[in-house]
Structure 1
Amino acid sequence: MYRLLGGMRVIEASSFVASPTCGMHLAQMGAEVIRFDQIGGGPDFRRWPRAGNGASLYWESLNKGKKSIAINLGSAEGRELATALITAPGPAGGLFVTNYPVDGFLAHARLAALRPDLVTIRIMGRADGGPALDYTVNCAVGYPQITGPESLGEEVVNHVLPGWDLLTGAYAAFALLAAERHRRDTGAGQEVRVPLSDMAIASVANLGMLAEVLDTGADRPRLGNQVYGAFGRDFMTADGKRLMLMAITPRQWTGMVEALGIGEAVVAIEAERGVSFARDEGVRYEHRDTLVPLVEQAIARRTLADLASAFDPLGVCWGPYQTMREAAYDPDLVRANPIFAEVEQPSGARYPIPGAPATIPQAERLPPARAPRLGEHTDEILAEVLGLGSGEVGKLHDSGIVAAG
């Protein structure tokens, strides 16, 4: 964690992946992020994966570093309390992240009537307000039809990584900072809506893939593990290990050719086909029918350790395939990685959790903070943000409007 956003208070009302991810990124850069939840937990409070005692590892991983207040949102008093939190006065506040519907008690116009400079970042499924999740967006933009081997034919492949959720959450954090800067310069608040479906199709277009299909009139074919437009795919070593090998830049290509000792064979192919592989990654892709078997044979004769010692000094871009469990014990990725610290979470489980993925050499890296217990900061928030006295807080507890963790 870093202190870059100290003095910024963000109220979060969210569930699932994209919206909590937005708040998590802001918290890891130093913002005070306060999320309010229904007493007993919202719809994602017990989502899988779970710890052995049933606590959600999912929920606590996405909400680390935040504060929590539990409110009875089914009551008018609870909704008024949530509204008061969002619109609380002061230069630090007036920043709200949510994936609640456009209409209802958290509608921006209703909140802005109480605080005109309010900045609302609203993560949505579709721009028209309709529901959508990562999988229902992904299926519509064409990736399942081009993922996997050619032998699948017309079968589709759903992805495992919720990429659109994660990308939308990160973009929403950027949008909040942009809107907050605009408010600082002009004094004006605003609502910024970030639909998951727009994030997905915009990303497809930004990668040139939309233009590609419109230009060619055809969908991109399935390529299995072959990287489109470049030399890159998986290979098996002599000791039965699988690695991913990429050669996009000229240095990566020449380093790979030297490390594998296939220079003469490559020159012969270039002469035979009247091409040069040194500069253009697309040419390597076009001639993969002869380059892939050549590299495949060279790698199959050597062990992973032997290849690693040859690849690394020459700047070859490669990586071993690992299971997620192997990755969890990998010293470079996790165990000796300074973004991680082993922390006991509210579930009672102790495991490495990451702070901000960014490294800022000029700033002190603080250890990542655990997730809150549901309602852990209820009394603190009521007192410090809303200025309520102990008697008033006690009455809210007695009437079931709030709960402490």
Structure 2
Amino acid sequence: MAHDPTLALTPPSPAALRGLRVVEMGQLIAGPFAAKMLGEFGAEVVKIEPPGAGDPLRNWRLLQDGTSVWWQVQSRNKQSVAIDLRSAAGQDLARRLIAEADVLVENFRPGQLEAWGMAPEQLLALNPKLVMLRVSGYGQTGPYRDKPGFGVIGEAMGGLRHLSAEPGRVPVRVGISIGDTLAALHGVIGVLMALRHREVNGGQGQVVDVALHEAVFNCMESLIPEYSAFGVVRQPAGSALPGIAPSNAYPCSDGWVLIGGNGDSIFKRLMAVIGRDDLAQAPDLADNAGRVARVAELDAVIGAWTAQRTMAEALAALDAARVPAGKVYTAADIHDDPHYRARDMILQQATRDGHTVAVPGIVPKLSATPGTVRSSAPRLGDDTDAVLAGMGLTAAQIAELRARGVVA
């Protein structure tokens, strides 16, 4: 993949996934997010999009010159090849790409690849080393496999939506597509484990099956053990952390501050800050169980202290006492924060339309092989000719496919 000279980025460095070839088939969030992460750490990612509109994410949320600024993040370090997978010729081109790939990422509904003659057994016969990441609403098996599933449904079925509310009020969205992102992260973990297995076990590939609701459910902590052992159905708790105290959001004169005073020694320091040494020394508040029993009282006294102060005043006092606390950041807060800047978590990225936009940096931070942005997000089909030529097609063959509408 060619380096884009318009990007003012970090110098080239050894890439953890250099030499890894990824074919991305799918759209929107979960599958493309997983491929994005692989690309950030050096993998060559070829994204197959349908001719015409391409991935719908190109047109989601706020657009700049007709293209979503979200696209600039989700599709950096990728090559775009426009192929009509509904045609037999397009399916053949996809199979030829997959035959030379290490990883295939797809998030179609279960059965779609099979309908195109690309079932796992067929692709693994074509390319035995292939690792296939398949992300779907309910997984590739089970009674719900054919139901349509989006991230928001996975969040509900996984147990998250029930808890994301104030008590007695309607369950609310987290505010982002967290179900899709959690599925993507689990998918990346699965791909890396499968690649490690391939490395030590004779080069054999396999299928990584990720269901949206299972990725959410995997993060639900003690939800099921508590139900199994005690018959307790955990309920919404708003901004509090149930069973752990004190930990909540507290009102200041100009906003909200989050305080985590739930460690035994931290609690004592917190009480000293707010002038309640009597509570710091109370025998029944020396451990978490006792504090949970009096959580309403503790939240009230902490809230009374914060309400008399600005966020800056409260945070300065809490920081000095080494009590974990923070403000509720908005996009503007994140964009201007010096800590985000110091850790390269806000990057200036050029677009192929001549703009520069601030985008999130790369996570995680690797000391020897850090992730990089090597190319900006492509326009639809930007790399079709180059990729097909690399597969051995002549200019005349590519032109004939384009005339038939197979590629664009």
Q: Same fold (TM over 0.5)?
A: yes
Distance in 2 (alpha carbons) for counterparts of 1:369 and 1:312: 40
Counterpart position of 2:60:
48
> CA, structure 1 residues 173+265, in 2 after alignment: closer, same or farther (shift >3 Å)?
closer
Equivalent of residue 38 in structure 1, options 14, 27, 50: 50
Q: Does the aligned pair in 2 maintain the 1:145–1:156 contact within 8 Å? A: yes
Matched, 1:286 2:293: yes
Distance in 1 (alpha carbons) for counterparts of 2:28 and 2:394: 34
Distance in 1 (alpha carbons) for counterparts of 2:374 and 2:331: 21
> Alpha-carbon deviation of 1:218?
3.4
**SS of the counterpart of 1:225?**
coil
> CA, structure 1 residues 382+282, in 2 after alignment: closer, same or farther (shift >3 Å)?
farther
> Alpha-carbon deviation of 1:46?
4.1
Matched positions, count: 385
Counterpart position of 1:398:
403
Gaps of 5+ in 1: none
Matched, 1:372 2:372: no
Q: Pairwise mapping of residues 45-84 of structure 1 onto structure 2 (< 5 A)?
A: 45-84=57-96
Distance in 1 (alpha carbons) for counterparts of 2:192 and 2:97: 20
Superposed CA offset, 1:51-78 (max 9, x none): 1543223333211221111112222111
Q: Pairwise mapping of residues 313-324 of structure 1 onto structure 2 (< 5 A)?
A: 313-324=320-331
Distance in 2 (alpha carbons) for counterparts of 1:174 and 1:142: 22
Distance in 2 (alpha carbons) for counterparts of 1:21 and 1:98: 11
> CA, structure 1 residues 141+179, in 2 after alignment: closer, same or farther (shift >3 Å)?
closer
> Alpha-carbon deviation of 1:286?
2.6
**SS of the counterpart of 1:297?**
helix
Counterpart position of 2:37:
25
Distance in 2 (alpha carbons) for counterparts of 1:371 and 1:44: 14
Q: Pairwise mapping of residues 4-403 of structure 1 onto structure 2 (< 5 A)?
A: 4-42=16-54, 44-88=56-100, 93-100=101-108, 101-102=110-111, 103-105=114-116, 106-127=118-139, 128=141, 129-130=145-146, 131-152=148-169, 155-185=170-200, 186-204=202-220, 207-230=221-244, 231-237=246-252, 239-267=253-281, 270-271=282-283, 275-277=284-286, 280-333=287-340, 335-346=341-352, 349-363=355-369, 366-367=372-373, 369-384=375-390, 386-403=391-408
> Alpha-carbon deviation of 1:362?
3.6
How does the TM-score come out when normalised to structure 1? 0.87
> Alpha-carbon deviation of 1:336?
4.8
Distance in 1 (alpha carbons) for counterparts of 2:132 and 2:243: 40
Q: Does the aligned pair in 1 maintain the 2:23–2:47 contact within 8 Å? A: yes
Q: Does the aligned pair in 1 maintain the 2:20–2:102 contact within 8 Å? A: no
> Alpha-carbon deviation of 1:243?
0.7
**SS of the counterpart of 2:70?**
helix
4+ residue segments displaced more than 4 Å: 346-349
Give the RMSD, CA atoms, in angstroms.
2.4
Which of 117-126 and 317-326 deviates more? 317-326
> Alpha-carbon deviation of 1:138?
2.0
> Alpha-carbon deviation of 1:43?
5.3
How does the TM-score come out when normalised to structure 2? 0.86
Q: Does the aligned pair in 2 maintain the 1:260–1:298 contact within 8 Å? A: yes
Q: Does the aligned pair in 2 maintain the 1:353–1:368 contact within 8 Å? A: no
Q: Does the aligned pair in 2 maintain the 1:259–1:314 contact within 8 Å? A: yes
Q: Does the aligned pair in 2 maintain the 1:11–1:33 contact within 8 Å? A: yes
Distance in 2 (alpha carbons) for counterparts of 1:151 and 1:95: 46
Distance in 2 (alpha carbons) for counterparts of 1:242 and 1:234: 6
